[in-house]
Structure 1
Amino acid sequence: MEYDEMFERDFIARTLEIVEQYEKYIMKSVSETQQFEVTLLINCLLGLLIFPREHCFNSIPAKPIDELEEWGLSPDFIQNWGRHPGKLKSEKHYTLVEFVYRLRNAVAHARLRPHGNGVRITSLEFTDEHDFCAVVPFDNLKIFVTKLAQSVKPPPKFLRDFQ
């Protein structure tokens, strides 16, 4: 296996491990005012959302959102699907594939807005230029990106040139 094939898979796995280590070690050892788990997760979305979308897109299951409760997702999180991007095939509309595509765009273009209860950030709002809007509770976002990271597999190098 070539290094770059291992790098893609390992980058996703190591990013997930960073989040898990933070929760296991840091969250228990610092005061609540020094806990930055939302900041860490937003930073880690590169490895947990953008990287899987860019390098493993074909392995993302095209399941409808209403079938993804075990992924931490609910159709109620989506305020507006907006206009469907022309790059996305119609059979992928309203599925996990489109949801990942839309969240990736929101993160990559810094279209995130925190929602909170006056003390803590409780959810993140994701928007894109096609009027998509989803508000995902923080705990559900952690479940979702964990499942996504665990489920995607980068294609072999020789296949990437043909995608």
Structure 2
Amino acid sequence: MSYFNNFERLFMQRSLELIDTYNGEYETTQLLNGLIGLLFFPHERMRELIPEISLQELEAWGFDPDCIVNAGANKEPRELRLGEIIRRLRNSVAHCRVNPFPNDDRPCEGFFFADNNGFEAKIPTNQIKNLMRNLLEHLLQQ
């Protein structure tokens, strides 16, 4: 069983609350900062609690499977499970392999993520929030 203490729980809850409630000019900066709490703690301390659901099943969480451009490691995106997606996103953030992508109305609509293993994703901010919110809700029920 995971050592899931109150600090981790509160840190993740507060990170998500900051992401959900901040509506200022730096919304995407706040989201990227929040990913440290929302990706690192689950990956490092609660890996066995991350549900083994497929990329296609994440559609129920409001996450479009087409956001995964390349699964890396000679895999097809359909082979990815949530735990590996979280690990790949965590690696991208940890190794500064994250870049914003714009649209006509906003300087940052979402982020490109990449890791050294060939994983690539292009994820709009609302879908990052959906993924993190649903993961956190699952973990907090454990």
Matched, 1:74 2:64: yes
Matched, 1:45 2:24: no
| Partner SS, residue 72 of structure 2 | coil
- Conserved 8 A contact 1:59-1:153: no
Output the amino acid matched with 2:55: I
Q: Tell me the residue number matched to 1:141.
A: 128
Matched, 1:96 2:77: no
Instruction: State how far apart, in whole Å, the 1-side matches of 2:10 and 2:82 are.
Output: 23
Matched, 1:64 2:54: yes
Q: Tell me the residue number matched to 1:116.
A: 102
Instruction: State how far apart, in whole Å, the 1-side matches of 2:134 and 2:101 are.
Output: 23
- Conserved 8 A contact 1:53-1:101: yes
Any stretches of 5+ residues in structure 1 without a counterpart? 28-34, 85-92, 156-163
Instruction: State how far apart, in whole Å, the 1-side matches of 2:127 and 2:51 are.
Output: 18
- Conserved 8 A contact 1:12-1:47: yes
RMSD: 2.1
Q: Tell me the residue number matched to 2:6.
A: 6
Instruction: State how far apart, in whole Å, the 1-side matches of 2:138 and 2:30 are.
Output: 21
Q: What is the CA-CA distance between 1:20 and the residue it aligns to?
A: 2.3
Instruction: State how far apart, in whole Å, the 1-side matches of 2:110 and 2:16 are.
Output: 19
Instruction: State how far apart, in whole Å, the 2-side matches of 1:71 and 1:38 are.
Output: 20
| Partner SS, residue 122 of structure 2 | strand
Matched, 1:18 2:5: no
Q: Tell me the residue number matched to 1:132.
A: 119
| Partner SS, residue 130 of structure 1 | coil
Cα deviation, 1:32-67, whole Å, max 9, x if unaligned, reads xxx110000000111111111111111111111001
Percent identity reads 38
- Conserved 8 A contact 2:93-2:113: yes
Q: Which runs of 4+ in 1 moved over 3 A?
A: none
Q: Determine which structure has greater relative contact order: mean sequence separation of CA pairs < 8 Å that are 6+ residues apart, divided by chain length.
A: 1
Instruction: State how far apart, in whole Å, the 2-side matches of 1:123 and 1:44 are.
Output: 14
